[in-house]
Amino acid sequence: DKSVKLPPPPKDGISFNTLPWNLNLPDEHSYIHLTTTPDKGWTLEHYDPETDGGLLLDSHKHYSSTPLPLYPSTTSLNYGTTIWEGLACRRSPTSEKAIVFRPQKNYARFVNGAKAMCLPAPSYELFMRGLQLVLQENAGLIPPAPEVDPETGVPQGGAKLYIRPMLLGSGQQLGLHASPQISLLFFVSPTG
């Protein structure tokens, strides 16, 4: 089926164009959290693109009620073993489709950062499906499509659903070694 499913309309009662650049409405959204070890890495158990199955599809958590379990000895807190990217999702002013600008470029930087931090990088398919799932889970937080200037054709307004994929050493240890646990996260926030 090649038909495109449009996201639901934006949630009522949110003044998207007045939201600051910050974490907004955390009670309204969910995030995705997967874990692995350095030896195992990201496998088909996490996401299998052939079957569109794996742990990824059941890994969403409510943002406000399910905090990350971090300890004082968490590797990323002590040694900075964290990478992240930032993407913007907007509604098309002409089709209402959810559009993310050049996510393949974000993936390439994510992989380079993972290598620099000695973290196992997720596959392209896992990364892209994670983005898609976090958007689907939070589709009501995608702001309305902007108005288009009739003279220039340029969309007006900067409201977006910001997406932040992260990879971090989430295991506990005291020495500077590869973290015994790695976390892959995708979270969102509507922003102005």
- The tens-digit pLDDT sequence of the chain (192 residues) is 456 677 888 999 999 989 999 999 999 999 999 999 999 999 999 999 999 999 999 999 999 999 998 999 999 999 999 999 999 999 888 888 899 999 999 999 999 999 999 999 999 999 999 999 999 999 999 999 888 788 887 777 778 999 999 999 999 998 888 899 999 999 999 998
Cα-Cα-Cα-Cα dihedral sign, residues 42, 59, 56, 165 = negative
Q: What pLDDT shows up at residue 131? A: 97
Q: What pLDDT shows up at residue 153? A: 76
**Where would I find the H helices in the chain?**
75-79, 103-116, 124-137
What is the DSSP secondary structure assignment for residue 22, as one 8-state letter?
A: S
Q: What pLDDT shows up at residue 105? A: 97
Q: What pLDDT shows up at residue 3? A: 60
Q: What pLDDT shows up at residue 48? A: 97
- Separation of alpha carbons 70 and 50, rounded Å: 33
- Separation of alpha carbons 185 and 27, rounded Å: 17
In this structure, are strands 160-169 and 87-91 parallel, antiparallel, or unpaired? antiparallel
Q: Are 38 and 120 in contact (CB under 8 A)?
A: yes
Q: What pLDDT shows up at residue 130? A: 98
> Within 10 A of 27 (CB to CB), how many other CB atoms are there?
8
Does pTM surpass 0.85?
Answer: yes
Radius of gyration, CA atoms only, the chain: 18
Q: What pLDDT shows up at residue 145? A: 87
Q: What pLDDT shows up at residue 1? A: 45
Q: What pLDDT shows up at residue 74? A: 94
Q: What pLDDT shows up at residue 151? A: 87
Q: Are 34 and 60 in contact (CB under 8 A)?
A: no
